[in-house]
Structure 1
């Protein structure tokens, strides 16, 4: 398996913590060398995913938690947002995850349809696991590292 760092952040399922997570993703993406535009896209996507989790995961329960996981690879950043607050069993998540399809029933995704369209537009890959709560896995590639030997030749290693 390729090496990566995994950073896990847990926040209360409250809108006021979105900014904390935006700062986290901004710091990680900046250290990885993402462009300013990509960092802005990442911040919008993670805000949508968290807002969606806050709105739909804890309608009655005020003390819910959201867990955010960052998989920091050499060529990409994988971001997981889970609305059930537990720690990630990465192997389990990857095993049970499937691609987000625009015809997925919006009810199945806790009415979070619009935010997912936006996330899908901003990220390179979006996958959903709704087995235990909803887990959204978003991937953004560091395009600078995807370039082949000639500067003008983009490799297709995605």
Structure 2
């Protein structure tokens, strides 16, 4: 049984001047959920990196397109999807299709010129997955209490 969540989706033109709108929206959502100041800043950077990558690289040939940003607000985490194919998506369906983000297995061409941005995203978020069918979708998770730790993990004492 899936956990209930609130879902917010925005669509922006694939233009740099709209990335700030996404940053403000991200900040408002994360603040409302109770994230710390540092976590809100991390979220804003990671989400705007994903949006900037989509704006700069997804629609190079036409300069026309949209970026879709979906926010799933759970009790314990925020899940964000940034998709550059410009179509609305079913959050749960797309989430189930995504695999883990594997730096070793992803070619430079698939990561586009935003490879450093994806590295930054991975550093700031607790989980990152990427899909590269019909455009690129970056799926990111940030937990309210920091990184998710296994419940049966052994503690280490010093």
Q: Report the TM-score when normalising by structure 1.
A: 0.89
Distance across 2 between alignment mates of 1:14 and 1:100: 26
Match of 1:141 in 2: 143
Whether contact under 8 Å (2:95, 2:139) holds in the other structure is no
Could you tell me how far 1:92 is from its partner in structure 2? 3.0
Could you tell me how far 1:155 is from its partner in structure 2? 6.8
Match of 2:122 in 1: 120
Runs of 4+ that moved beyond 6 A: none
Distance across 1 between alignment mates of 2:58 and 2:144: 31
Match of 1:99 in 2: 100
Match of 2:155 in 1: none
Match of 2:76 in 1: 75
Structure 2: runs of 5 or more not aligned: 153-158
CA shift digits 1:48-89 (9 cap, x unpaired):
101100111010212210000000000000000000110012
Distance across 2 between alignment mates of 1:21 and 1:156: 34
Whether contact under 8 Å (2:80, 2:141) holds in the other structure is yes
Count the aligned residue pairs. 149
Show the 5 A alignment for 1:1-158.
Answer: 1-103=2-104, 104-143=106-145, 156=151
Distance across 1 between alignment mates of 2:34 and 2:81: 20
CA shift digits 1:26-64 (9 cap, x unpaired):
000000000000000000001110110011101021221
- How much is the aligned-residue C-alpha RMSD, in angstroms? 1.7
Match of 1:150 in 2: none
Could you tell me how far 1:93 is from its partner in structure 2? 1.0
Structure 1: runs of 5 or more not aligned: 147-153
Whether contact under 8 Å (2:70, 2:91) holds in the other structure is no
Distance across 1 between alignment mates of 2:134 and 2:97: 10
Distance across 1 between alignment mates of 2:142 and 2:99: 17
Whether contact under 8 Å (1:106, 1:112) holds in the other structure is no
Flag the 1:32–1:89 CA change in 2: closer, same or farther, 3 A: same
Q: Report the TM-score when normalising by structure 2.
A: 0.89
